């Protein structure tokens, strides 16, 4: 039972991101693609480019088929997401958007931390902890997606 639940959770890990998110990141939670206007703020263009590149790297990881594959996948996913997060931290938003952008980046960290919790839960074969990690990821992803839409950051679904 825990193995089946875990695979359902991990199956969606790479689909969102900026890094990916856990299966609980259903298509309904994914924001629509945002077309950036030519006059979009520089920070939006930079953040969007980083998110898109990070999502491409996550997609290239493929999808795991077993719990053991999921554990290895999560190890690789965390590395990709931490790299994307580090790059996003170097992007400076204008003062008017700085607090919200800071929260956006913090939520990426929270979601990646949930992936680490998921990895530990999978290793322990703890289905309750898998569910809790999925819920934590979903919560961070949902809030992050709302901020991305508001700031018009594309590619960070």
Which tens digits make up the pLDDT trace of 36-73? 555 568 899 999 999 999 999 999 999 999 999 999 99
Q: Compare 155 and 72 and report the one with higher pLDDT.
A: 72
**Arithmetic mean of pLDDT over the chain:** 82
**What are the residue boundaries of the structural domains of the chain, listed by start?**
2-151
Residues 120/104, Cβ–Cβ less than 8 Å: no
Using alpha carbons, select from 105, 93, 9 the residue that is nearest to residue 54. Answer: 105
Q: Retrieve residue 143's tokens.
A: 């809030």
Q: How confident is the model over 122-151, as a mean pLDDT?
A: 96
Q: Retrieve residue 21's tokens.
A: 């998110």
pTM: 0.78
93-106 burial, b for 16+ CB within 10 Å, e for fewer?
A: beeebeeebeebbb
* Distance, C-alpha 47 to centroid of its chain: 14
Q: Retrieve residue 111's tokens.
A: 């979601």
Measured CA to CA in angstroms, residue 142 lies from 8, 22, 129, 156 at distances of 18, 11, 20, 11
Residue matched to tokens 């997609």: 59
For residue 156, name the pLDDT band (cuts at 50, 70, 90).
confident
CA 11, CA 33: separation in Å to the nearest integer?
A: 21
Which tens digits make up the pLDDT trace of 81-132? 999 999 999 999 988 899 999 999 999 999 999 999 999 999 999 999 999 9
Residue 9 pLDDT? 52
């Amino acid at each position: 039972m825990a193995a089946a639940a875990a695979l359902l959770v991990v199956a969606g890990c790479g689909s969102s991101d900026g890094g990916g998110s856990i299966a609980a990141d259903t298509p309904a939670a994914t924001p629509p693609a945002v077309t950036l206007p030519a006059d979009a703020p520089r920070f939006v263009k930079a953040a969007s480019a980083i998110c898109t590149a990070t999502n491409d790297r996550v997609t290239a990881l493929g999808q795991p088929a077993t719990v053991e594959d999921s554990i290895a996948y999560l190890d690789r996913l965390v590395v990709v997401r931490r790299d994307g997060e580090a790059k996003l931290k170097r992007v400076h938003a204008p003062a008017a958007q700085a607090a919200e952008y800071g929260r956006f980046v913090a939520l990426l960290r929270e979601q990646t931390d949930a992936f680490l919790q998921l990895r530990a839960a999978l290793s322990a074969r703890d289905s309750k902890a898998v569910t809790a990690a999925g819920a934590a990821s979903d919560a961070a992803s949902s809030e992050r997606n709302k901020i991305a839409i508001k700031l018009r950051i594309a590619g960070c679904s």
